[in-house]
């Protein structure tokens, strides 16, 4: 869970470059690529301060295939912050029983997304977007 802790530290500092190091080169979350996630985080950091996240992990599955190690982490949590314009606390995002996919890349765990593109039953605009994972 060190990857989550290090990403959280980057989020708290609003350090976009440090945060992006935790995304795999092949990141794909419902069709969102690394460049898309970077843009989403830029918007989050532009509009919110004092950003933090909460995670309750309920399942962890490790697999290895073709020399590649992956982890599937079931999590419920949220991304919270304070609106810069109003000073009001806000839940930026939340998720329940979301499976976060990670891959071991360059000796570190990195967020992989859902690794399967957009579900054929979900329109791109209706796909859930949880940019941290």
Does residue 130 surpass a pLDDT of 90? no
Please give the sequence-ordered ranges of beta strands (E in DSSP) within 1-133, or none if there are none.
Answer: 23-28, 48-65, 68-83, 89-105, 108-113
What is the total count of domains within the chain?
A: 1
Dist CA 3 CA 15 (whole Å): 15
Is 133 part of a structural domain of the chain?
A: no
**What is the per-residue pLDDT for 121?**
43
In 3D space, the residue among 99, 96, 32, 24 whose CA is nearest the CA of residue 61 turns out to be 99
Average pLDDT over residues 88-113: 91
Q: Is residue 32 part of a domain?
A: yes
Q: In this structure, is residue 106 part of a structural domain?
A: yes
* Residues 99/128, Cβ–Cβ less than 8 Å: no
| Inter-residue contact 48 to 92 (CB < 8 Å) | yes
In a domain, 132, yes or no: no
- Is residue 126 in some structural domain? no
Residue 85 in any domain: the answer is yes
Question: pLDDT at residue 90 above 60?
Answer: yes
Task: Specify the pLDDT at position 116.
Answer: 44
**Per-residue model confidence as pLDDT tens digits over 12-44:** 999 999 999 999 999 988 888 999 999 999 999
> What is the model's pTM?
0.81
- Which residue carries 């989550």 as its tokens? 4
Does the residue 120 lie in any domain?
A: no
Is a pLDDT exceeding 70 seen at residue 120? no
Compare 86 and 122 and report the one with higher pLDDT.
86
Domain of 19?
Answer: 2-115
Question: Is 66 inside a domain boundary?
Answer: yes
Q: Which long-range contacts (CB under 8 A, 24 or more apart) does 60-68 make?
A: 68/103, 68/104
Across all residues in the chain, what is the average pLDDT?
85
pLDDT surpasses 60 at 131: no
Three-state SS sequence of 83-97: ECCCCCEEEEEEEEE
Report the alpha-carbon distance of residue 35 to residue 25 in Å, rounded. Answer: 10
Question: Residue 58: which CATH number?
Answer: 3.10.450.50
């Amino acid at each position: 869970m060190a990857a989550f802790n290090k990403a959280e530290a980057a989020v708290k500092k609003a350090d976009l470059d440090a945060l992006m190091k935790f995304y795999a080169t092949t990141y794909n979350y419902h069709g969102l690529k690394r460049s898309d996630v970077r843009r989403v985080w830029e918007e989050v950091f532009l509009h919110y301060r004092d950003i933090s996240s909460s995670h309750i992990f309920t399942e962890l599955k490790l697999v290895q295939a073709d020399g590649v190690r992956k982890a599937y982490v079931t999590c419920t949590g949220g991304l919270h912050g304070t609106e810069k314009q109003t000073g009001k606390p806000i839940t930026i995002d939340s998720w329940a029983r979301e499976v976060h996919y990670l891959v071991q890349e360059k000796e570190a765990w990195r967020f992989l997304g859902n690794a399967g593109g957009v579900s054929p039953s979900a329109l791109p605009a209706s796909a859930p977007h949880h940019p941290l994972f």
